[in-house]
Amino acid sequence: MEHTSSRPEPGAALPAAYLSAGTSSFTDFLRAQAPELLPGRRSAGAPGTVDVPHGTTIVAIVYAGGVLIAGDRRATSGNLIAQRDMDKVYVTDDYSAVGVAGTAGLAVELVRLYAVQLQHYEKLEGTSLSLDGKTNQLATMVRGNLETAMAGLAVMPMFVGYDTDATDPAKAGRVVSFDVAGGRYEERAGYHAVGSGSLFAKSALKKTYDPEADVNTAVRRAVEALYDAADDDSATGGPDVGRRIYPSVITIDGEHGAVKLPDERAAEVATAVVAERGDSPRG
């Protein structure tokens, strides 16, 4: 008697698109296979008054030999504090990081998808995107969220990266901001801020920024700028010594790549800033 196996062929349950190399863009693949998973393709629903958590202030500073990005930890929902210890800055690959302000849930989802996009490209192409390529990819993803942004659920990312192709390594750190329509803007002043407290943070950085500063000085200036933002913007959280909640900081340089500042170091810097401002409360 002839016997035949009823076991399915390996991978037979998956569509053919999942088994081929296809495009090097993960977002294009997702758009074709499961568009409902893209943040910007979901229905925004009818306009309403639902308050969703929002992330607030992010700052970026270019220093000698690198760049950093830092964010406060507070998320607000209307007039309430929704979360006190939210991380708003993320390492996205070896030499880049993104900070997000705006609608918290969509922002975190967008950054995670963006990190997968960079990994997907590198695995298929065998090389990482150039820094300009990385920012163009992020601009495309922000633009795809335009319909949701117009419904009041905007995401405002800020990109920082170390350009490994730069002719002068001391000036390889770059900062790029975006608008809700996906416009991409290189911030050549050496510092920038986004979010509800950005006006106060940028004003602080304008007075203290030094392009020749080392990484330790730049970290101190970033924490000071966030402190100043929290002093005048209720949606920005300052260092919370009692709860041991301090700003998140990521530094990027040619030697170490993108590295999140250890909690102990962030606590040390933030505590020093709080103590200094206590001695001079008027700034």
As annotated, the active-site residues are: 56
Are 134 and 96 in contact by the 8 Å Cβ rule? The answer is yes
Identity of the residue numbered 22: G
Helix, strand, or coil (residue 201): helix
Helix (H, G, I), strand (E, B) or coil at 56: coil
Helices (H) and strands (E) in the chain, counts: 7, 13
Q: How far is CA 32 from CA 36, 55, 83, 103, in A?
A: 10, 30, 35, 26
Between the CA of residue 242 and those of 111, 166, 281, what are the distances in Å?
Answer: 30, 43, 19
Alpha-carbon distance 227 to 237, whole Å? 8
For residues 103, 156, 234, 248, the Cα torsion angle rounded to the nearest 10 degrees is 100
Name the residue type at position 14.
Answer: L
